[in-house]
Each structure stands twice: as structure tokens, then as C-alpha cells.
Copies of this chain bind each other. A is one copy, B any other.
Amino acid sequence: LKDTKIESKIIGFDLDRTKAETVLSMGAIDKLADDVAHCVEQADLVIVAVPVMVIKEVLIEIASHLKPESVVMDVGSTKKLVCQWAEQFLPQHTAFIGGHPMIGKESTAIEAADKSLFRGHHFITTPDTKTNEQAIALAKQLIKALGMKEKPMTPNHQDILVTWASDLPFIVATCLLLAASKRSSWQDTKIISSKGFYDTTRLASGSPPMYTDICLSNRESIINAIALLITELKAAQRLILHQDAKGIMSLFSAAKNKRDEWLSDVWQGKM
């Protein structure tokens, strides 16, 4: 945020003081607050960037310290539950807008921070009927400054999209890793594995607490998606069992076509 042209002062707070001081020394914030209350009491815009299930506590904690007309935004992966909490706990004189920048890295270390990560990607917002013009304008300004593309939608729709684009891929990567690593062949699998295994399992190196919160907060949608994936796996398994070369070929071709179409749209700038 410091690199954008928005004139602002950024006050930061983190429960982990050492982490917070690293961020300060990196110049990513201007000032370190002693507690959450001090951090938010003068803020026009409060950005809550904590694991999804912790957002509830933070909203409760900041509620009585927010100044009138301030705007609160979260950047958690799940939106339906978070928007319900905001509705429930934030005072009427403030505005809330759910936010979810569609970027990520396996590493959550401060040292892995990378401002180029944002540019060109989508930033989902979930304004509700009570999100005022001012909050929307502020969010737009922020998203533009980060070089990201705003994509407004309902919290429910966002939770389904994120399930398919991110949560299920993580679970798939994790389960593939677990299944492979439980075999006696694992030692040699590791030796011969190359880019295919690396890429397909990359997300499994993501933060366990972050993804635990995501699974708890986006539960139904994820459970449903796992079931649909298992259906596909069983269909593939059945075709292979029956040596149905034609069926296998058409299954693989369908997936390849869908993916190649997607990439072609991305390359043509349609996305």
C-alpha cells in the first residue's frame, strides 16, 4: 500500500510484536499501535487481515472503537459468514465491505511479502445493500491503487467460486500428497517426482491454520465440492477398469478443452 499514490498514514497492529516490528522496519506501515483499539480509533479505513475464524473476535473487539463513518474491510477467503458477523457486531455508523484479493503464496512468512503479487489479479468485493457509496468508493480506490481488478458479487456466490478456484484445489493437493506419502513407495516416488507432482501438490504447502479456518467457515460448499470431485474420480476409475479407451479419451479431451479454452480467454485478455 505504501507504494500507491493515495495520501495516507498506515497504522498497523499484530498480536505478534516481533512480526509487527519487522513490518514496520520494512516500511510497509508508518506506525505501530499498542493495541487494536488504538490502531482503529482514528482510521478512515480499517483492513482486517487475520485468519477467517478470528475475524469475528476482531470485529467484536474493534466495534466500540471505530469512529463514525469509518469503513471496515476484511480480506478473508470466506464471505457469507464474515458478512453475517459484520452485520451483527459492527455499529450502524460504520460501513462494511467484504474483500478477497485473489492472490496467494504457499509461504505466509513476512519475508515472503511481495507487492508485485497483486497486480493484474481480481479483487472480489461483496457489498451488501447497506454498504454505502463512500465505502464502495474507498474500496475501488484501494483496489485500483494495488493494480487489481474489482469484481463485486454476493457473499454466497463468492464462497462457491472460491471453493472451486482455491479451497478444493488445496484439499486435492493435500489428499494427493497424503495418499502418496503413506505408501511404501514414497521414498522412491520423491526421488523420481518432477514438475507434475510438484505443481499438482503445490497448494499442500499452504498454511494449515489458514486453510482450517477456510474449511470451517465455508463448510457446506467445500463438502459438496469434494463429493462432486469424488463422483468424477469414480467415473474415471470405472472407465479405466473397463478398459474403455474411447470413454477415457473423451473424458481427458473434455478436460483438456475446458482448460485450454480458459487459458486462451486469459491470454486474449477476456478475463
Q: Report if A164-B185 is in contact (Cβ < 8 Å); known contacts: A151-B192, A260-B205, A262-B193.
A: yes
Most B CB atoms within 10 A — which of A166, A209, A260? A166
Docked complex: A138-172 residues within 8 A CB-CB of B = 151, 153, 157, 160-162, 164-166, 168-172
Partner pick for A258 among B162, B181, B234, B265, CB 8 A cutoff: B181
Query: In the complex the two chains form, is B193's CB within 8 Å of A165's CB?
Result: yes
Q: How many copies of this chain? A: 2
- By beta carbon, the residue of chain B nearest A121 is B194
Query: In the complex the two chains form, is B212's CB within 8 Å of A203's CB?
Result: no
Docked complex: A219-271 residues within 8 A CB-CB of B = 219, 222-223, 225-234, 236-237, 240-241, 243, 245, 248-249, 251-256, 258-260, 262-263, 265-266, 271
Most B CB atoms within 10 A — which of A222, A223, A233, A256? A233
Query: In the complex the two chains form, is A174's CB within 8 Å of B251's CB?
Result: yes
11 sampled A-B residue pairs with Cβ under 8 A: A102-B194, A169-B201, A174-B251, A174-B256, A175-B229, A175-B232, A175-B255, A176-B232, A178-B251, A179-B225, A226-B234
Give residues in A with beta carbon < 8 Å to B.
102-104, 121-122, 124, 151, 153, 157, 160-162, 164-166, 168-183, 185-186, 188-197, 199-206, 208-209, 211-212, 215-216, 219, 222-223, 225-234, 236-237, 240-241, 243, 245, 248-249, 251-256, 258-260, 262-263, 265-266, 271
